[in-house]
Amino acid sequence: MIWRKSTTHISTITACDQSGLVYLAANLLYGMRFVILLIVFVTAASESRSGERCEYPDVLGSMFVPLEKRLGEYRITLGRPDYLKQGEVRNHFLFSTTFSHLLDSLLKNQTKGRCEAVVNSLRFPDLHVYLSRGDTFGDIETDRLFCKQELRSILLNSKPNQDEIRASASQEVRLRESRSDASTILAAALRYIFEDDTVLNAINSIDVDAFRSVDAKQFSLWLDAQRLSVQFGLAKIPLCAGDLDPNSPLVDVSINKLPSSRTTSPRTINLSSRAARFPDDLRHVVIVGHDGILNAPDPSEMMATRKYCGGKKYDFGQNEGSFANPIVMTTRIRCLRSVQYDNQVWSVFYCDPKVCTSENASRLAAEELMEDPEINSLARSSKDFLRGPYLVNIADD
């Protein structure tokens, strides 16, 4: 399977904090871990009951996995880091993302291809699992039970060696370095959009170099501590019908709610072209955030998305005062909608590079988008903080 939801970041983590108290507790309670884990898993793995709140099915998983191979979606609940300590937040993200790749490979190898999974950290601080079966399969319920048990066994008992840990971290490096599109710019900009000392700033400040230098010993200590956490477990996710109204009380909007991360005021953010593998033909974008729900239907009623994201041609340069010397040009605006951590939706607007073939045209379009009333209204629709708009420029050093 080739899809994954991940992020690209633009700073280097030079050191990772560790909590001595957590690891001391891990050593003191080591002998009790199997009793604790048995209780947790029996409780967490119970099947969903009628009337429970639900989450929307993973959109990309449903697109790429045939119906007859789908075995359900699951949550791996993990112990929480101290959200007031950015070092712990970074460690948790670094190690849990590495763990997600490790689970992918171990499950497939241990079952000789009978079971597969795509695991990601988008539900930070937990992990999301899209479970499926391989090309050779039998009764679906038998396979579902078998694959779930195998995944649980790996969670409880696997002892990855140093090479396996580093290979899993390297997989994240390859994923991040393989992309070069608007999402790359969004991922790079988010670090500067969230204020320092916030949870989402800590998550978005981790770049590929952090995964290149993952400490296998510290990862193993983190995994041991997680297995002792009372929150550690595997639970099936109750799924909503795809056409369920996002405003329905059945939709669980509180999943993985993180402490509020303040955003900076609307402004211009300049990024170095060397900070990430940015697309060559995309140098100016406008980013705006608003509230949303993971995998929910696209809110097409929003004015900004209806105005720009339908592929219609649009005239720029007619807004008096936007430029010193207005230039009227007809172009198309492209849009990227991405749900990030804490159920925040971020939209990226930019001039179609096939139309805005000059750097000047791309810049002028982005500057006018920055002043667009519908885009500014979208930024003000968030319940807590104003989320943009932000004009992001990619500049060569």
Contact indicator for 298, 345 with CB cutoff of 8 Å = no
pLDDT on residue 396: 81
How far is residue 232's CA from residue 226's CA, in Å, rounded to a whole number?
Answer: 6
Contact indicator for 180, 197 with CB cutoff of 8 Å = no
pLDDT on residue 9: 32
- Each residue of 46-84: pLDDT tens digit? 333 445 788 888 877 777 788 888 999 999 999 999 999
pLDDT on residue 33: 36
Backbone angles phi, psi at 234, to 5 degrees: -125, 125
CB neighbours (10 Å) of residue 203? 28
How far is residue 370's CA from residue 366's CA, in Å, rounded to a whole number?
Answer: 6
Backbone angles phi, psi at 140, to 5 degrees: -65, -40
pLDDT on residue 249: 87
CB neighbours (10 Å) of residue 181? 13
How far is residue 189's CA from residue 106's CA, in Å, rounded to a whole number?
Answer: 34
Which residue from 74, 37, 88, 86 is spatially nearest to 224, judged by alpha carbons? 37
Contact indicator for 129, 56 with CB cutoff of 8 Å = no
pLDDT on residue 122: 85
pLDDT on residue 161: 95
Q: Which residues pair with 130 in a beta bridge?
A: 73, 118
User: Six-digit token pair at 180?
Assistant: 């070069």
pLDDT on residue 34: 34
How far is residue 259's CA from residue 240's CA, in Å, rounded to a whole number?
Answer: 25
The answer to whether the pTM exceeds 0.75 is: yes
What the chain holds in terms of domains, given with CATH numbers, is 20-236 (3.30.830.10), 267-395 (no CATH)
Q: Which residue ranges of the chain lie beneath pLDDT 70?
A: 1-51, 254-256, 297-302, 312, 314, 316-329, 397
